[in-house]
């Protein structure tokens, strides 16, 4: 139950959120609201704080948790990956992302996060156990039920995947892939440079009233290496041809079976 002066405390911290330099105030106010069972208000508070920026890591962590509780998984993942981009060793964010992926059946994605947790906390037995579980089930799923497993799979983030997303105009997806790569391998300077380029481009687009990436926005051509893009298109064409050949072979075998 809230203490008698709860409203007075809430008003005190609301006044402090008016100070743009007081990012901690958003976290403190949100924690009070969560403790009183007012999660919706806490969520609004944190979203306001993140929109105004800069924000603390605690704000991003709480926001990720609240968004997950509301079923807004994509937004939650984005904020948690942003947190990891600023604090690669944040095991709480990694654990939330790993559990989210595991619960959703995205076992390969979960395994990537659990491997990072094993690296950061090698003496914590539960990470190794969970890594073994999701890795085993991912292997079983890929060999016995590939279509079902693939339906919920989060593609392994690579520079090639980033280029594909950019070529298609999905800068938000490219950003998410780079954020995950940075979280899993903080030492990659090429990822950091590309991340900074795309984040800068997104900020510029927002200030100039440009289209939101993924909502009709056009590819950021200046961020795509032409040679790299040509290589990606060639590989995509090769895969399509191979898939077509496999499909035709499957149809021929099916027909033979019926004739027999």
pLDDT tens track for 152-201 = 456 778 888 888 878 777 887 888 888 888 888 888 888 888 888 877 65
Q: What is the pTM of this model?
A: 0.62
Return the pLDDT at 237: 62
pLDDT tens track for 96-123 = 999 999 988 888 889 999 999 999 999 9
The phi and psi torsions of 158 (rounded to 5 degrees) equal -140, 165
Radius of gyration of the chain from its Cα atoms, rounded to whole angstroms: 22
Mean pLDDT of 122-127: 94
If pLDDT is split at 50, 70 and 90, which confidence band does 143 have?
very low
CATH of 1-87, one of 3.40.50.10860, 3.10.180.10, 1.25.40.10, 3.40.640.10: 1.25.40.10
Return the pLDDT at 7: 77
Greater confidence, 255 or 115? Answer: 115
Task: Map the chain to HEC letters.
Answer: CCCCCHHHHHHHHHHHHCCCCCHHHHHHHHHHHHHCCCHHHHHHHHHHHHHHCCCCHHHHHHHHHHHHHCCCHHHHHHHHHHHHHHCCCCHHHHHHHHHHHHHCCCHHHHHHHHHHHHHHCCCCHHHHHHHHHHHHHHHHHHHHCHHHHHHCCCCCCCHHHHHHHHHHCCHHHHHHHHHHHHHHCCCCHHHHHHHHHHHHHHHHHHHCCCCCCCCCCCCCHHHCCHHHHHHHHHHHHHHHHHHHHHHHHHHHHHHHHHHC
65 neighbors 80 (Cβ within 8 angstroms): no
202 neighbors 214 (Cβ within 8 angstroms): no
Domain boundaries, the chain: 1-87, 90-154, 157-209+218-240
């Amino acid at each position: 139950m809230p203490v008698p002066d709860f409203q007075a405390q809430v008003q005190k911290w609301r006044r402090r959120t008016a100070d743009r330099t007081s990012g901690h105030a958003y976290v403190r106010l949100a924690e009070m609201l969560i403790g009183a069972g007012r999660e919706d208000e806490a969520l609004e508070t944190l979203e306001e704080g993140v929109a105004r920026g800069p924000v603390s890591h605690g704000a991003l962590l709480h926001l990720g948790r609240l968004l997950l509780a509301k079923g807004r998984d994509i937004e939650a993942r984005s904020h948690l990956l942003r947190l990891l981009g600023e604090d690669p060793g944040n095991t709480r964010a990694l654990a939330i992302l790993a559990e989210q992926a595991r619960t959703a059946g995205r076992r390969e994605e979960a395994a990537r996060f659990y491997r990072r947790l094993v690296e950061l906390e090698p003496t914590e037995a539960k990470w190794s156990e969970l890594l073994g579980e999701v890795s085993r089930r991912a292997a079983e799923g890929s060999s016995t039920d590939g279509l079902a497993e693939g339906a919920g799979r989060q593609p392994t983030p690579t520079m090639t995947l980033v280029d594909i997303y950019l070529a298609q105009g999905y800068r938000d997806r490219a950003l998410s892939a780079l954020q995950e790569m940075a979280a899993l391998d903080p030492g990659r300077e090429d990822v950091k440079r590309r991340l900074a380029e795309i984040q800068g481009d997104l900020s510029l687009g927002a200030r100039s009233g440009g289209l939101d990436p993924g909502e009709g926005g056009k590819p950021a051509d200046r961020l795509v290496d032409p040679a790299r893009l040509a290589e990606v298109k060639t590989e995509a064409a090769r895969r399509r041809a191979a898939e077509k050949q496999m499909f035709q072979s499957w149809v021929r075998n099916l027909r033979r079976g019926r004739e027999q």
